[in-house]
Structure 1
Amino acid sequence: MNISVVVPLLNEAESLPELTSWISRVMDANGFTYEIILVDDGSNDGSWEVIESLKQNLPNIVGIKFRRNYGKSAALNVGFEASKGTVVITMDADLQDSPDEIPELYRKITEDKFDLVSGWKQKRHDPLSKTIPTKVFNFFTRKMSGIHNLHDFNCGLKAYRKDVVKNIEVYGEMHRYIPVIAKWAGFTKIGEQVVEHRARKYGTTKFGLSRFVNGFLDLLSIFFVGKFAKRPMHFFGTMGALSFLAGLFIAVWLIAEKLIDISHNLKYRNATDQPLFYIALVAIIVGFQLFLTGFVAELVSRNSPERNSYHIEKTV
């Protein structure tokens, strides 16, 4: 099979018939063998009934329904697991991503040998309240990840080699940073394609302002896990050593100062009367605790076997 198109969706009943028909036309026109994996993330607007109806006329459709809403990352992860194509395309269900981009994305993966190609919606149809925070996040993501050639990490329209989606794990709200996750997994040939951004035709956006706060926290999480997951002692040990040595230095300084005063028969004050004494004490304790945290982190696996366990109600 050439292509698997993974479409996570939440309350997009109105757009699904048009979207699946459009994808099918593009695939047939280019002679691709394909499947369309529709992952219903707990919709309550009849989206699943629409998927079941579409399945009767389009056998290429694979439907997966969550019992409740888990989020876009969960839907993508399950879609990746179910995919069978040599190239996997992801797109949103709201018709803001154009299926006409699929042939060029496919070519970049198969001919140009990219591991991942991310869409760049160079001209957006979004309000400033959305575009400005997005630009800020993309700037910081480029700086922290080292992937300097991507302008839009969060674009839902992406293409992947099969090996990529089978070797990465997307959870929480990490879908925004899949290129970063792929890079940490060793897939470094990452490209970009300018794509059309269409105005939303049906419904309303499912994302609020909280996604920007969550996105920043997720970025910090990815950066830490990607850099120190296999060697947490390098992080905690370094921080612990610096804190411990700083406290020890202050403590030695206070002791030396007191000994000098005694040797010169000078009036001295107790070490415990000085604020530096308590700073040194806290620094030593914190340094010791960070060391212990590092040792424990070395022993505990970061992967929980239940982290990507989802209750799937139905499949078709």
Structure 2
Amino acid sequence: MDISIVIPLLNEEESLPELSEWIVRVVTANNLTYEVIFVDDGSTDNSWDIIQSIAARNCHFKGIKFQRNYGKAAALNEGFKAAKGDVVITMDADMQDSPDEVPELRKMIIEDGYDLVSGWKKKRYDNTLTKNLPSKFYNAAARRMSGLKLHDLNCGLKAYKNKVIKSVEVYGEMHRYIPVLAKNAGFRKIGEKIVEHRPRKYGVTKFGWNRFVNGFLDLMTITFTGKFGKRPMHFFGLYGTLCFLIGFGISVYLIISKFVDENFALTNKPLFYIGMAVMIIGMQLFLAGFVAELVTRNAADRNTYLIDEKLGIN
């Protein structure tokens, strides 16, 4: 199968018929074998009924329905599990992503050899103050922390090799960090394509200001787990040891000062309390590292690694 198109949605009953017809026109014009997987993230309108009617008319359309709202990351994760196409393309159901971009995105994966291509909505139709400015700040922070030079990690229109989406697990608010997850999994050829951003035709946006806070916290989580997920002691132990040594050095200095000068007021010095606090913090970090190591070494996937190829091994 050429492509799988995964579309997470929440209360998008108005756009689904038009979107499905548009997708069919594009894939038919380009002679692509395809499947479209709608993932209904707990819609309270008639979205699922419409998905059922679309699937009844066209067997290439499939659906997954959550019992309640779990979030876009969960919807994408389930869609990825079901996807069978050589190239997997994600897009939003609100028709702000154009299906006309699909052939070129597929070409960049198949012919140009990219593992992942992220859309860049260079010209946007969103409210500048409430969405564009926070998004630019967030993307700048994400580029700095992840090392990926992508302009728009938030863009829902992306294309992947099938093995990329089978190698990552998406949860929380981490759908916007799939390129970072892919990079951590060893996929290095990650590209970007300027795509059309269309004005919203139906419904209202499902995202608020809290997504930027949650997104930043998830970025910190991904950055940490990507580097220290299988060796947490290397992080906690390093900083715990440094803190303890700094505190211990302060304590030694104060004790020597007391021996040199009997009138030296040891406990009246702020440095005394700083030294004690830093030593305690160092010990806590070190113990946290031990606990994290115990958890990691007893995890079911402690020795699970992504293997690209095997030669001469069954």
Structure 2 equivalent of residue 10 of structure 1: 10
Displacement after TM superposition at 1:301 (Å): 3.2
Structure 2 equivalent of residue 132 of structure 1: 133
Question: 1:98-247 residue pairs with structure 2 within 5 A?
Answer: 98-128=98-128, 129-148=130-149, 150-247=150-247
Kindly provide the amino acid, as one letter, of the partner of residue 287 in structure 2: L
- Give the distance between the partners of 1:140 and 1:268, measured in 2 at CA: 48
Change (3 A) 1:194 1:268: closer
What is the DSSP-based 3-state SS (H/G/I as helix, E as strand, rest coil) of the residue aligned with 2:243?
Answer: helix
- Residues 225-234 or 168-177, more deviating: 225-234
Task: Check the 8 A contact 1:98/1:197 in 2, yes or no.
Answer: yes
Kindly provide the amino acid, as one letter, of the partner of residue 12 in structure 1: E
Give the number of aligned pairs: 299
Structure 2 equivalent of residue 268 of structure 1: 264
- Residues 87-96 or 180-189, more deviating: 180-189
- Residues 30-39 or 217-226, more deviating: 217-226
Deviations 1:49-96 (A, max 9, x none): 001111111110111000000000000000000000010000000000
Which ranges of structure 2 fall in alignment gaps of 5 or more residues?
A: 301-314
Displacement after TM superposition at 1:143 (Å): 0.9
Structure 1 equivalent of residue 304 of structure 2: none
Displacement after TM superposition at 1:274 (Å): 2.4
Structure 1 equivalent of residue 39 of structure 2: 39
Task: Check the 8 A contact 1:40/1:65 in 2, yes or no.
Answer: yes
Percent of pairs identical after alignment?
64
Question: 1:66-105 residue pairs with structure 2 within 5 A?
Answer: 66-105=66-105
Kindly provide the amino acid, as one letter, of the partner of residue 103 in structure 2: P
Task: Check the 8 A contact 1:229/1:302 in 2, yes or no.
Answer: no
- Give the distance between the partners of 1:30 and 1:82, measured in 2 at CA: 23
Task: Check the 8 A contact 2:231/2:293 in 1, yes or no.
Answer: yes
What is the DSSP-based 3-state SS (H/G/I as helix, E as strand, rest coil) of the residue aligned with 1:154?
Answer: coil
Matched, 1:291 2:286: yes
- Give the distance between the partners of 2:133 and 2:274, measured in 1 at CA: 42
Please list every run of at least 4 consecutive aligned residues from structure 1 whose deviation after the TM superposition is greater than 3 angstroms: 301-305
Kindly provide the amino acid, as one letter, of the partner of residue 87 in structure 1: V
- TM-score scaled by length of structure 2: 0.93
Q: 1:282 aligns with which of 277, 281, 298?
A: 277
Change (3 A) 1:5 1:304: farther
Displacement after TM superposition at 1:250 (Å): 0.6
Displacement after TM superposition at 1:279 (Å): 1.6
Displacement after TM superposition at 1:203 (Å): 0.4
What is the DSSP-based 3-state SS (H/G/I as helix, E as strand, rest coil) of the residue aligned with 1:239?
Answer: helix
- Give the distance between the partners of 2:122 and 2:294, measured in 1 at CA: 45
Deviations 1:21-53 (A, max 9, x none): 111111111111100000000001110000111
- Give the distance between the partners of 1:238 and 1:301, measured in 2 at CA: 17
Task: Check the 8 A contact 1:118/1:192 in 2, yes or no.
Answer: yes
- TM-score scaled by length of structure 1: 0.92
Kindly provide the amino acid, as one letter, of the partner of residue 99 in structure 1: P
Task: Check the 8 A contact 2:86/2:162 in 1, yes or no.
Answer: yes
- Give the distance between the partners of 1:169 and 1:224, measured in 2 at CA: 16
Displacement after TM superposition at 1:18 (Å): 0.6
Displacement after TM superposition at 1:243 (Å): 0.8
Displacement after TM superposition at 1:303 (Å): 10
Structure 2 equivalent of residue 300 of structure 1: 295
Task: Check the 8 A contact 2:230/2:296 in 1, yes or no.
Answer: no
Displacement after TM superposition at 1:268 (Å): 3.2
Structure 1 equivalent of residue 20 of structure 2: 20
Displacement after TM superposition at 1:302 (Å): 9.6
Which ranges of structure 1 fall in alignment gaps of 5 or more residues?
A: 306-316
- Give the distance between the partners of 2:299 and 2:155, measured in 1 at CA: 28
Q: Which has the higher contact order (CA 8 A, sep 6+)?
A: 1
Matched, 1:53 2:53: yes
What is the DSSP-based 3-state SS (H/G/I as helix, E as strand, rest coil) of the residue aligned with 2:267?
Answer: helix
